[in-house]
Amino acid sequence: MRIDIVSLFPDFFASPLSTSLIGKAIAKEIVEIHFANPRDFALDKHHRVDDEPFGGGVGMLMKPEPIFAAVESLPNLNRREIILFSPQGEPMKQDLFKQLALLDQLVLVCGSYEGVDERVGEHLVTKQVSLGDFVLTSGEIPALALINGVVRLLPGTVGKTESLQSESFESGLLEFPQYTRPQIFRDWRVPEVLLSGNHGAISEWRYQQQLQRTRDRRPDLLE
């Protein structure tokens, strides 16, 4: 997969993309990540990428020309989405990550300031995505979350693919509780069923825990 990040702050991604599973996926060429800075495509000598909104208002908006030019400079692979991060977009969910993981290319447009010119959303991007019902300082933060969620699903990123199948949201339920050594920590014991060696009983216990945990914490998933 190829991921192109359109961002005024490419340095923001340096450490997160060089560590852990994502860094390993890049090193193994499971995913390649490129950057396009709209400032490099600004039309004036000062490389200005923002301006005041028509009609008045507080703050500055990112201009459309540099964003369009940055995206249009990129290669266009067969299956791709051009994504703008916006509080008004589709919420990030596991099903969205699964869909995006099947594509050849993701172009991630990170807005800043008060937002971007509406024509970017209307005529350039193919999807708008939100990290949640709140406002952040820029699109780089949700971009990192989306990259993490998608890349970990690509074949070869996670060593044991079975571990992906029992996670929260994979079956519409939250994940069951898990424990490791020591068996007793500060008088808190690991549930006996997990020490029994009875795999049928363990599977049933885990399923019942998933149901109960989902009822308690995310009843909306059961609806």
CA distance 122 to 168: 34
pLDDT digits (tens, 9 = 90+) for 137-160: 999 999 999 999 999 999 999 976
CA dist., res. 151 & res. 20, Å (int): 12
Measure Cα distances from 26 to 56, 57, 152 in Å. Answer: 44, 42, 11
Q: Could you give the CA distance from residue 210 to residue 173 in angstroms, rounded to a whole number?
A: 6
Residue 88 pLDDT more than 80? yes
Q: Which CATH class is domain 2-151?
A: alpha beta
Mean pLDDT of all residues in 180-199 = 97
Domains 2-151 and 166-222 share a fold: no
Q: What CATH fold (topology level) applies to the domain 166-222?
A: Trp Operon Repressor; Chain A (1.10.1270)
d(CA 138, CA 159): 32
Q: What is the pLDDT of residue 172?
A: 86
Tell whether the model's pLDDT for residue 201 goes beyond 80. yes
Which range is least confidently modeled, 36-50, 87-101, 165-179, 182-196? 165-179
Per-domain residue ranges of the chain: 2-151, 166-222
Task: Answer yes or no: is pLDDT of 55 > 80.
Answer: yes
Closest by alpha carbon to 5, among 100, 81, 106?
Answer: 106
When mean pLDDT is compared across 5-19, 89-103, 121-135, 156-170, the lowest value belongs to 156-170
Q: Name the phi and psi angles at 184, rounded to 5.
A: -125, 125
